C-alpha cells in the first residue's frame, strides 16, 4: 500500500484512520471508491481502486482538484511560487487572502487556496456569510509546500472523477459494486458544540438523518457504504441496522489546541 498523504491540511482529515477504515471495507473488489464528502480525499489517495469519484460541496476544493488534474505539474509549480518567505507575514497573508476572495481566475484562486491552506491558522477552511474565506494568519515558521503529495494526486488523477454537489447526487451515482465512504461534518458531541460553518448551508441533524436513510437504500446495490461520525446516542440511533465499529481518536477540540482529548468515533457499515 503506497499510503500517499493528502496534500491539504483538513479538519477531521482521515489519514490516520485509513488502516482502520480499510479493515472494514466489506469487499475485496476494488472497483470504484466514491467519497461524497471528499475533503482532503485521504482515503482515495491512500487506497488503490480502479476508479474514484470525489465529490464535495466546497467549490474551491473541487476546482483545486480539477486544476491539478488538468494542468498537472505546471499547476504545482504555479502554486509553489506563492510559498516564498516574503509571503509568510501577516500583512502579505491578508493581502493574498483578499486577492483569493476577489479572484475570478480559477487557476489563481486554486493556487491561492493551497497557499491559504498552509499559511492559515490550523489549516482551517472557513467562510463568512458572504462566502469569503476568513481564517486568520497561522504564524508558522516555514510552511510546508506539499509537492510530493500533489504529484501523487496527479499520478492518480486519470482515474479520478470530480463533482461538486450535494452528497445525495454522489450517492445516487453509485453503481453495482461501488464502495462508498462518507465522512460528513460530524454530529455535535453536545448541543453546544456544533461546528456548522464548513459549508454555507450548514449540516444539521436532519441532514445527518437524510444521509443515513439514503445509505440504507443505496446499500442494496453498492459493495458497502461506510460512514464515519462521532459515537453518540443520536448517531447510534440513526445508523440502526448497520454494523457499528468504534475507535478512539485523539482530537484537539478547542481552538487553543491544548485541550486534546480522546473522542469516540464510530464507523457505520452497510453491507
In DSSP terms, 251 is beta-bridged to 261
Separation between Cα atoms, residue 39 and residue 23, nearest integer Å: 21
Distance CA 39, CA 129 (A): 20
Q: Which residue has the cell 482515474?
A: 159
Rounded to an integer, what distance in angstroms lies between the CA atom of residue 193 and that of residue 187?
9
pLDDT given for residue 49 in this prediction: 97
Q: What is the pLDDT of residue 196?
A: 45
Q: Is the distance from CB of 64 to CB of 112 less than 8 angstroms?
A: no
Please give the Cα distance from 31 to 52 (Å, whole number): 9
Predicted pLDDT at 188: 85
Cβ–Cβ < 8 Å for 267, 24: yes
* Three-class DSSP category at 52: strand
pLDDT at residue number 263: 81
Taking the chain, what is the end-to-end CA distance rounded to the nearest angstrom?
24
Task: Give pLDDT, residue 252.
Answer: 58
- pLDDT for res 198: 42
- Say what the pLDDT of residue 256 is: 54
Of 132, 146, 121, nearest to 252 (Cα)? 121
Mean pLDDT by 10 residues, the chain (271 residues): 83 92 92 97 96 97 98 98 98 98 98 98 94 97 97 97 96 94 90 48 85 94 92 95 92 57 90 88
- H-helix segments, 137-253: 147-156, 167-172, 205-218, 233-238
Check residue 1 and give its pLDDT: 45
160/79 Cα distance (integer angstroms): 21
Read off the pTM. 0.91
Q: Long-range contacts of range 254-260, CB-CB < 8 Å, 24 or more positions apart?
A: 255/122, 257/122
What pLDDT shows up at residue 223?
81
Look-up of cell digits 467562510: 127
3-class SS at 65? helix
Amino acid at each position: 500500500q503506497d499510503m500517499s498523504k493528502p496534500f491539504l491540511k483538513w479538519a477531521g482529515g482521515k489519514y490516520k484512520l485509513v488502516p482502520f477504515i480499510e479493515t472494514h471495507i466489506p469487499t475485496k473488489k476494488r472497483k470504484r471508491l466514491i467519497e461524497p464528502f471528499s475533503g482532503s480525499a485521504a482515503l482515495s489517495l491512500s487506497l488503490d481502486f480502479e476508479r474514484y469519484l470525489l465529490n464535495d460541496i466546497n467549490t474551491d476544493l473541487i476546482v483545486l482538484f480539477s486544476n491539478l488534474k488538468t494542468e498537472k505539474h505546471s499547476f504545482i509549480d504555479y502554486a509553489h511560487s506563492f510559498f516564498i518567505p516574503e509571503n509568510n507575514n501577516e500583512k502579505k497573508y491578508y493581502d493574498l487572502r483578499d486577492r483569493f476572495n476577489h479572484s475570478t481566475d480559477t487557476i489563481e484562486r486554486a493556487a491561492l487556496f493551497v497557499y491559504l491552506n498552509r499559511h492559515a491558522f490550523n489549516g482551517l477552511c472557513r467562510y463568512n456569510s458572504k462566502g469569503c474565506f476568513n481564517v486568520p494568519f497561522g504564524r508558522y515558521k516555514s510552511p510546508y509546500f506539499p509537492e510530493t503529495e500533489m504529484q501523487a494526486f496527479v499520478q492518480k488523477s486519470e482515474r479520478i472523477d470530480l463533482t461538486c454537489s450535494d452528497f445525495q447526487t454522489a450517492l445516487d451515482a453509485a453503481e453495482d459494486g461501488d464502495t462508498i465512504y462518507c465522512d460528513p461534518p460530524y454530529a455535535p458531541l453536545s448541543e453546544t458544540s456544533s461546528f456548522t460553518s464548513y459549508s454555507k448551508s450548514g449540516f444539521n441533524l436532519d441532514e445527518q438523518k437524510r444521509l443515513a436513510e439514503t445509505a440504507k437504500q443505496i446499500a442494496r446495490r453498492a459493495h458497502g457504504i461506510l460512514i464515519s461520525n462521532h459515537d453518540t446516542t443520536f448517531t447510534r440511533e440513526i445508523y440502526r441496522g448497520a454494523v457499528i465499529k468504534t475507535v478512539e481518536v485523539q482530537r484537539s477540540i478547542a481552538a487553543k489546541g491544548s485541550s486534546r482529548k480522546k473522542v469516540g468515533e464510530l464507523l457505520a457499515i452497510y453491507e
